[in-house]
Amino acid sequence: MTQYLVFQLYAPLASWGVEAVGEVRHTAAVPGRSALLGLLGAALGIKREEEARLNAFNQHYYFAVCPRSTQEAWLRDYHTVSMPRENKKRRYFTRRDELLLAPDEVGTIVTQREYRSDGYYQVAVRATGQAPYSLAALQSALEKPHFPLYMGRKACPLALPLAPYIATGTLVEVMRQAEQRFSADDNSGLNAILDSCAECYWDDPDESSIPVREQRWCGDRPVSRQRWQFAERLCFVGTLPREGG
């Protein structure tokens, strides 16, 4: 039997970053690997500049995500951003450099940010045998996080407790148990928007309890936080079998 750390994610707004080019910042439909690793790393107190510690942490966990909200919607917001005109004779290494080194070249552009509104997700984490932190340690960190936790952006704080716990079973069993556990004695109104026949997204190649409907490559596996580099990983998509099915 496999052991998982299970928790919930909900906020009025969430933004799960994907490849960003130009003035539009898109969002994925579900939190990706880098977002979930970042959430756990922030809870543990791992700083962004601790490259070696981050790389060791990033290699030893698998994730499964079930988005369950029936009322989730896509939202686009518009921003005005100050930034310098392109100038090949200048190099800017920080945001401060952009604004201060050439003030006469700074102008305003319109950018767009995408969000998921009213998204609710149930997450299961499996650790490898070489994982630097046990599932129990991750549970404790989520209960008392070192740094504030967000749903992708700092403008998207959590609106429900993560309520982490450790469960044992197949992924199907664990996700069905999570559905029952998080909906029982619910006072938040979530029961009205929960989808009981949920899609599931996972990256564990050994997972076999959910029929695979689709395989896709996702470019959200962190390689270097300092150089902002990501690699591809193979992701699996399927629908949780109905109970008794």
Give DSSP secondary structure letters for 148-184: --BSSSTT-B-SS----EEEEE-HHHHHHHHHHHHHT
Convert the pLDDT of each residue in 47-91 to its tens digit. 888 888 888 898 899 999 999 887 888 888 888 878 777 777 777
Q: What is the pTM of this model?
A: 0.85
Query: Which of 57-66 are b and which e, b meaning 16 or more Cβ less than 10 Å from the residue's Cβ?
Result: bbeebbbbbb
How far is Cα 55 from Cα 58, in angstroms, rounded to an integer? 5
How far is Cα 8 from Cα 164, in angstroms, rounded to an integer? 7
Domains annotated on the chain, with CATH: 2-239 (3.30.70.2660)
Average pLDDT, the chain: 87
Which has more pLDDT, 228 or 106? Answer: 106
Residue type, 216: R
Q: What is the pLDDT of residue 27?
A: 87
Q: What is the pLDDT of residue 108?
A: 84
Q: 46 and 54 in contact (C-beta within 8 Å)? A: yes
